[in-house]
Structure 1
Amino acid sequence: MKRYTLVIAVALLAGCASTDLRYHTLQPAIGHPEMSASKFRARLTSVQIPAEVDTEQLVVRANGNTLIRESEDRWAAPLADEIRGALDNAWRQDYGLEDVQGVDDASRSIPHVGVQIQKLDAAVGSHVELVANWWVSLDQAQAAKSWSCQRVYFEHAEGGIDDLVDAQQRVFRSLAGDMALSAVAMESGHVPVCPDH
């Protein structure tokens, strides 16, 4: 009887043992040197993401049409905040573009930039596909200029979860570059060009 009780106790303790959670971020561990001063400014007004990935857990495609929420792998912050941070980081480091919030400057117009993530497909051992639509608007004294673009981004991810997160970092860095170039062109008085798919 005592032996049976001991077995039950061990089983209960094993069931109650907490699983170690792994937290991931879209910001690379090693970045490029910070630029000394921002040459351009823009305002990232909104980051919209699909409902199916709007969760603290990583959502991955296991096979076919099956999406799985990874119970042990989570984002370090809400996914929309992770994306905003990744875009802002790439803007500053790669393009000298500063995301200014709540700053008014009567001397020049500040481009307003928004992005809607229409698809974020992360397939284990395969790839990451990102479909994003972004827009830039510039309010001027006489009229409001606006422009939008949609593009598909694709990165291979042949390993496990860590490789999948690395691939997501790369697609969002590519998106950040396209958004930054659009904002800089608009602020400089040029019509942005939508990159080839």
Structure 2
Amino acid sequence: MKLIQSRSWRAMVRMVSGIALAVLTACASPPARFYTLGTDSDSTIGNRTASPAFLIDMRPVKVPVAVARSQLVVQLNAAQVKVLEDDRWASPLPDEIRNALLAALTRQASALDVHEVAPPVYQVSVDVQRFESWPGSRALIDAVWSVRRSDDRETLTCHSIVSQPVSAGYNAVVDGHRQAIRRIAAQIAEGVREFSAASTVRPIRLAGTPGTTRKATLSCPSLAGGSDTGMNVPVLGPAR
């Protein structure tokens, strides 16, 4: 009798253990997926010139509080979003955007990150007003950016809105943001080049007007690709 009871007890233990294991397996969270906006670092390094035309100081990027989290946030409609617990950024979103912009900017403007080589020359600030992810529709970035000489008060401030079409899936959304960032970086690079060219203008004396100086004229560069671009009036200090 005791032998039968012992076998029954062991069978019950195995059954309970099996049920518990099945429950734990069913309740286990799926592995998280991580995404990055970064570009190919080898490609960036390979395209840098031996004597860079500009030195870039990319300031910390500002993003809306709603998306300043490790999880991806996607739009369900105009008034509702979804926070994806299993789809996350590889690093904080402001850092992802900053690093991606800097990589593209240094490549397209023939520049180097000032923290690698020398004191800054051009400071670039980016304030992201909207960072929207619409799976199967678009990836939208609305940003105000500015370029300023580190040794001058002159500042060029512009407004870019990029709406990049994307297919279904979160990979497509991330790639859409990556492309949008590259296009904004190209626009900033053009702004840096224009700023550099304008900064070579020196005060001049006009006939009959002693002491008159000529100010550099700057305008926000157009955004390639046909997306909407709002342009603020450049904010400039006196030319030197």
TM range (shorter): 0.7 to 0.9
Matched residue, 2:219? 193
Partner of 1:49: 63
Q: CA RMSD, aligned part only? A: 2.4
Is 1:168 matched up with 2:177?
yes
Q: CA deviation at 1:7?
A: 5.9
Q: CA deviation at 1:139?
A: 4.6
CA displacement at 1:159 relative to structure 2: 1.8
Aligned residue pairs total 191
Moved more, 21-30 or 176-185: 21-30
Cα distance change on mapping 1:46 and 1:187 into 2, 3 Å:
farther
Structure 2 distance, partners of 1:42, 1:51, is 26
| 1:123-171 deviation digits (Å, cap 9, x = unpaired) | 011101110001112254xx61112011110100122001001100000
Note the residue ranges of structure 1 that are not aligned, 5 or more in a row.
none
Give the Cα separation in 1 of the matches to 2:109 and 2:119: 21
* More deviation, 153-162/27-36: 27-36
Change (3 A) 1:136 1:28: closer
- Equivalent of residue 104 in structure 1, options 119, 126, 140: 119
Q: Which has the higher contact order (CA 8 A, sep 6+)?
A: 1
Structure 1 counterpart of 2:113, one-letter code = D
The aligned runs of 1:29-178 (5 Å cut-off) are 31=43, 33-37=46-50, 38-101=52-115, 103-104=118-119, 110-140=121-151, 144-178=153-187
User: Which contiguous aligned blocks of 4+ residues in structure 1 show a shift greater than 4 angstroms?
Assistant: 29-33
Q: By percentage of residues, which structure has more strand?
A: 1
Q: 1:70 to 1:192 in 2, by over 3 A?
A: farther
Describe the shift of the 1:69–1:191 C-alpha distance in structure 2 as closer, same or farther (beyond 3 A).
farther
Other structure's SS at 2:31 match? coil
User: 70-79 or 6-15, which moves further after superposition?
Assistant: 6-15
| Contact residue 37 and residue 100 of structure 2 kept, 8 A | yes
Which TM-score applies when normalising by structure 2?
0.71
- Asked if the contact 1:60/1:122 (under 8 Å) is kept, the reply is yes
Is the 2:48–2:111 Cα contact (8 Å) retained in structure 1? no
* Cα offset, 1:93, TM superposition: 2.2
Q: Which residue of 2 aligns with 1:180?
A: 189
State the one-letter code of the partner of 2:168: G
Which ranges in structure 2 are unaligned for 5 or more consecutive residues? 1-10, 200-215, 224-228, 230-240
Scaled by the length of structure 1, what TM-score is found?
0.85
Q: Are the counterparts in 2 of residues 156 and 167 from structure 1 also a CA contact under 8 Å?
A: yes
Is the CA contact 1:115–1:132 (under 8 Å) kept in the aligned structure 2?
yes
